[in-house]
Amino acid sequence: MTVRSRSRLVLLKTLLSLALGVLLMFACLVGYVWYCAQERPVTPAPAVIVLGAAAWGNKPSPVFKERIRHAVYLYQTQKTQKLVFTGGALRDGIPSEGEVGARWAIRLGVAPQDTAYETTSRDTWHNLKNATALLQQEHIDSVILVSDYFHLARAGIMARDLGLQVQLSPTPSSKFNHFSTREKLKLYIKESYFIVGYVLRKLFEADFDRA
């Protein structure tokens, strides 16, 4: 075997090893997303953050409605004393997701003074950043996050980066719970890509934390 052939073989083995390493790391990340998606008991925390989903006028979308219901359940079973709703408005002149969520929770029996909401966020990072700002006013840093199961791994990472102590509580009654195993796997893979994107943004965007 010539020197050139040996060099090519070494390069090929190196590239294959790197590719296998990346695939293994991504598979572990998918497994982490799956792990965070599992239902588990939570201990009482001062606040619940409900991550936003679409609102249709004055009504929450079916997905958002189930997140709200689950948060209200945690409130009614004394797992928390405060519900914080997140999400901005799709356009001017209509209520924000956060406002709709708070109103709906009050309709379901939550005391108005036990709700809070923000009105400007358009994505998960700003959902959590704005909610954290509200909670800091009350010196709260321990929360339960409520969202659909596949969303919680990424949300949990972001919340910890914002200095929150986090428990994860997936919505048990979402339409996504009825997805097939294959459809759920697609969601886990998609969220894993989003996590990678988030980490890369943190690494390479100098002003990301201030965005």
Amino acid at 90: L
Which amino acid, one-letter code, is at 104?
W
Q: What one-character-per-residue DSSP string does 86-127 give?
A: ----SSTTS--HHHHHHHHHHHTT--GGGEEE-----SHHHH
Q: Which residues make beta-bridge pairs with 48? A: 83, 144
The 3-state DSSP class for residue 147 equals strand
pLDDT band (50, 70, 90) for residue 13: confident
Question: pLDDT tens digits for 38-76?
Answer: 999 999 999 999 999 999 989 999 999 999 999 999 999
Per-domain boundaries in the chain = 47-210
- Homologous superfamily of 47-210 in CATH? HUPs (3.40.50.620)
Question: What is the rounded distance in angstroms from the CA atom of residue 143 to the CA atom of residue 128?
Answer: 11
Question: Going by C-beta distance under 8 Å and a sequence separation of 6 or more, which residues neighbour residue 197?
Answer: none
What b/e readout covers 57-76, taking b as 16+ CB neighbours within 10 angstroms?
eeebeeebbbbbbbbbbbbe
Residue 92 has a pLDDT of 80
Q: Is the predicted pLDDT of residue 111 greater than 80, yes or no? A: yes
**What percent of the chain has pLDDT above 70?**
99
- Please tell me the predicted confidence (pLDDT) of residue 11: 74
Residue 3 has pLDDT above 70, yes or no: no
Q: How confident is the model at residue 206 (pLDDT cuts 50, 70, 90)?
A: confident
Q: What's the gap between Cα 99 and its chain centre?
A: 19
CB 55 within 8 A of CB 100: yes
Q: What is the dihedral of CA 99, 44, 66, 56, to 10 degrees?
A: 10
Is residue 2 scored above 90 in pLDDT?
no
Query: Lowest-confidence range among 12-21, 84-93, 168-177?
Result: 12-21
Residue 96 has pLDDT above 90, yes or no: yes
d(CA 72, CA 83): 8
